[in-house]
Amino acid sequence: MSFYPPVKVGLLGLGTVGSGVTRVLSRNAGEISRRAGREILITHAAARNLDTTTAHTAGMKLTGEALDVVNDPEVSIIVELMGGYEPARSLVLQALANGKHVVTANKALIAKHGNEIFATAQATGMMVGFEAAVAGGIPIIKAIREGLAGNRIEWVAGIINGTANFILSEMRDKGRDFPEVLAEAQALGYAEADPTFDVEGIDAAHKLTILASIAFGIPLQFDRVYIEGIRHITREDVAYAEELGYRIKHLGIACCNEHGAQLRVHPTLIPKQQLLASVNGVMNAVLVQADALGQSLYYGAGAGAEPTASAVVADIIDVVRTLTADPDNRVPHLAFQPDALSDLPVLPMTEVKTAYYLRLQAQDRPGVLAEVTRILADRDISIEALVQKEPAPGASDVPIILLTYEVQERWMNEAITAIEALDSISAPVARIRLEHLGFD
């Protein structure tokens, strides 16, 4: 077991996740070398400021200059935990050019620059591990890329942003409104001071981009993801959805058929009995529909120092195991061989078919329902359920809740425009997509 020399790792970034990685590698050093068959040592680390109080940096060569680590001939694996596009991108490319393997937790980097990074890795025979970039510590990249390698993957639906899931869970549990819960999430440290990436769906879109690639064998196409956040979800919508047997979750959804791929992030009504509906708080979960296996679900912590470190360390061990393997036989970065990626088009949202939840504010007078249902019928949109609620205290308008069957989004857009033009409709229509996820 001690036959092999220790593997020397250089760390870029000693923030939350970087410190977590140093703690996990030091605390579990014994277990890890019992598994990997050799020691894994962080010998070099670069950090913007070297106040390293929560990191275990004993024996490490510390520097403020990341390029020093990347260029150090002693280091064989670079772990990039700085986040952001630059200088992360340049440093990763330089590491690969220097003949070092790379492990990263940087979802934005992979989603936006992954194609370039993997091409470079391919050319230099290096590996890039990015398990930590999607759903934190859940080994979802490995599950899809290796565990389900015998399947044609049909779709993936994931709760892949813990902050958004926490907010929606709290809105449901406590009957509270979005701004109130967001403020609480910020106070608890779940949401950043600038929560845009989380609540607008950008972070989820980064992760979904990666999931779609490894599931379907298509290049990373962040710019083609339809992205909708959760700011417009009201506590009334949450409550009405519950009454109808659904729960609102902020999902990243990727699916694929012969016409094209769909990549979309948006709030979604899903059936309460679906296991995904029971994933609450900051937890993440990814549901995968595959042709041989059927549905499988992977659940765990999607963020945090040690959960993310768990994925980073697993990637390091994976790299160590394949150091001696023929590069052609390694698991391809995007699950499919680089020359076997598909140029399947990503469909525009107007061509996507889903079911819908609609909430209308209508004047309480005869004929309104007739007008609305006529507009839907004219576009072949079938209604699955329709509920007219009591007006809110002091209000004259009545909320009308509609669930529709599946229809192409272009027709729903038209219908909503027509409904909003009615004299009897007093506010914009609230529209939330609905997916049965196998529970039809």
Closest distance to a second copy from the beta carbon of 181 (Å): 20
94 binds a second copy (CB under 8 A): no
Among 112, 142, 247, 431, binds a second copy (CB under 8 A): 142
Instruction: Specify whether the CB–CB gap between 266 and 248 falls below 8 A.
Output: no
Q: What residues from 152 to 191 belong to the interface with a second copy (CB under 8 A)?
A: 152
Q: What residues from 315 to 344 belong to the interface with a second copy (CB under 8 A)?
A: 316-318, 320-326, 328-332, 335-337, 339-340
Question: Near a second copy by CB under 8 A, which window of 45-53, 83-91, 308-316, 371-379?
Answer: 308-316
Distance CA 254, CA 215 (A): 9
Single out the residue of 22, 90, 89 nearest to residue 56, CA to CA.
22
Is 100 among the catalytic positions? no
Q: Going by DSSP bridges, is the β-strand pair 353-363/430-434 parallel, antiparallel, or unpaired? A: antiparallel
Q: What residues from 213 to 242 belong to the interface with a second copy (CB under 8 A)?
A: 217
Instruction: Specify whether the CB–CB gap between 358 and 401 falls below 8 A.
Output: yes
Closest distance to a second copy from the beta carbon of 24 (Å): 5
Cβ contacts of 165 within 8 Å, gap of 6 or more? 159, 249, 250, 279, 280, 281, 282, 283, 284
Question: Near a second copy by CB under 8 A, which window of 18-26, 53-61, 67-75, 228-236?
Answer: 18-26
Distance CA 226, CA 262 (A): 9
419 binds a second copy (CB under 8 A): no
306 binds a second copy (CB under 8 A): yes
Distance from the Cα of residue 260 to its chain's centroid: 20
Among 10, 13, 18, 20, binds a second copy (CB under 8 A): 20
Distance from the Cα of residue 378 to its chain's centroid: 37
Instruction: Specify whether the CB–CB gap between 209 and 220 falls below 8 A.
Output: yes
Our CB check for a second copy shows the closer of 175 and 281 to be 281
Burial of residue 136 (number of CB atoms within 10 Å: 0-12, 13-18, 19+): buried
Our CB check for a second copy shows the closer of 154 and 414 to be 154
Closest distance to a second copy from the beta carbon of 409 (Å): 28
421 binds a second copy (CB under 8 A): no
Closest distance to a second copy from the beta carbon of 159 (Å): 12
Task: List residues with catalytic annotation.
Answer: 207
